[in-house]
Structure 1
Amino acid sequence: MPQNRVDDGVKEGTTTSELKVLKLQRGRKAAQFTRACNAAETQITCRANEEELRKRLEALNTALDGVLKINDDYSEKVQEVSEIEESEEYATRMTARHASTVKAIEDAIKLKSSGCSASETEGKPMSLAPRRDGSKVSGSRASKCSKASTVAREAEITAEMKALELKHLRARKERERQKREQEDMLKRQKKEQEDMLRKQEDMLKKEQEDILRKQEDMLRKQEDMLKEQEDMLEEKAMEEEVERALVKARLCKAAESDLEWERRHDFDGENVALVPRECNVTEGPVTVDLPQRRPPPQEQRRTLQSEQQTAANNAKLPSSKNEQHPANWHLSPPFPVAERCARETLDQFDLARAGQLRS
């Protein structure tokens, strides 16, 4: 854009300098034409001969052609309507001055021709009267011919003036058309630039809106992830708390009996698969179907030894204590083996579930 402005400035300066040069040349040509017209008028006043007048007529035509040529070049360069009209008026004024001077020269030439014929007739003797009458007839014919030629020349001058006016009119119309085309082109370019700027602004605005929307979506996702992490941490804390409570309860239960205390770590690290059945909490407590698990042989031997030892101890007890307990009280200890196994299995299931949640 700055380079275009510099080029336009250089072009405008060049055009202005060319116009100044053309205007100066037109002034010089007009001065030559004016001097030629003044010289012709002086010769007409001094009654110069016909040959000099005809030479002056040719000089006038040459001078007028030079002025009109420079004026046409100047009219093609200018852009202002006032300057164009001024150049057309200038050409019309020069042409009118040329026409009047040419007419005066032709009238002088005609007078010279008629004056020469009259003087020749007066200088002849009387014996040549019939020839003098004939010369008068020939002089009248010559005057008629000169008058006809003058009329023809005037008609030619009028035709040239009309042709020149038509030429100037066409040139003015052409310049006006070019000027309108340039204005329309400038308007189209301005409109295209405005449309391009508007499109760029819309694109930038849309891109900014998309970026803001993406940032908002990203922030929303981050907030959701943080919330999920907080929920997971809270759930994990609750599970750990439940796990600690279950371990504490199991250890407290195991502490009530020596056998339970010795066997408190028997099922550590074992995963027990439980299959819960469908239940309704409103109808009663939740029940779980446990798979039947047989104790290992070592545990069976330990259980049998414990029962035998208990039976032997009961046999040694006094009768007062035997009356307080039923006869088969050793067969139903406070924590039966099946119930204990089920409880420990549930504890192991809770521990396994807590481990899966942590992972």
Structure 2
Amino acid sequence: MKLPDLSLASGRHLAGRVRSYFPGLMIAVLVALAAQFVAEHYGAPAMLMALLFGIALNFLSEETSAAAGIGFTARSVLRFGVAILGARISVEMLTSLGWGMIGLLVLGVIATILFGVALARVIGQGPRFAILTAGSVAICGASAAMAIAAVLPKDDRSERNLLFTVLGVTVLSTIAMILYPIFTTALGFDDVTAGAFIGATVHDVAQVVGAGFSISETAGETSTLVKLIRVSFLAPVVIVITLVWHREQMRDGGTRTPIVPGFVVGFLCLASLNSLGLIPATLGALLAKLSSWALLAAIAAVGMKTDLRNIIKVGGGAITLIVAETLFLAALVLAGISFLELT
């Protein structure tokens, strides 16, 4: 009896999946390219443009040939983008700032998340939404929002909450990019202190770079370094969130999920390799660029999967929460920098 050719069958299955994903993936990539073009030529945030363009193409995710690829991009390409973000992180980069500043950044992340959860209870917002918004504010804006959303349990409001959070942190980052350089100048900060404040408080990397270099080259380099250290906290925070929800799922009899998501393992592995000097500078720069494009395409796909009418339903409480978290982080960092300068 002739045995079936399993390799041929699996190859056909893989080819079928690629064909089903290709249209939606290409649409997301084209939206990302359009968003980047607008960002480079008109100074608009690329993430915000990708999000808005994606929302305008929402109809494509509804039972069309592109639907499978859009879902794949919003899920798998997103995780891939977060994983290779680890190539930008190294232990040397962490220690170059000094332990006082690192301690302040760690405190900022923990305190902002706790503040967000506490405030959410007062104003009637759920804990998942609070962790999503506070984590994105405390760490790295839209990238953190997408990574945290990937490990939080899903419900009928998950995509709406993610889209609102990405939109919120992007808009707030843009406002901060304009106001914070004026604020630091008014306070009489030197370039290094101003860069540290901007890197520790502005949500998205692109806006940190824009705000820092608008002051000086020294401020820009400092702000970028501080920001990348905040990005390095993404993996530990995602692991803690996964552990908390994993324990609750097990207690409630839910489905067993991996304790450490695969994309977080990838992030940590690349960060470790980069710390050991095993990732060449050229490859590191390529992976950083690839990560930016993957996240841009992923947020475009998230926009396509979400109806704008659902975002409007989040209400004033959600807006209050994300604005309050932003102001809390800025006040905490300002107090911390003042303390470090005195000591």
Same fold (TM over 0.5): no
Shorter-chain TM-score category?
under 0.3
TM-score (normalised: structure 1) = 0.23
Bigger RCO of structures 1 and 2 (CA < 8 A, at least 6 apart): 2
TM-score (ref. length: structure 2): 0.24
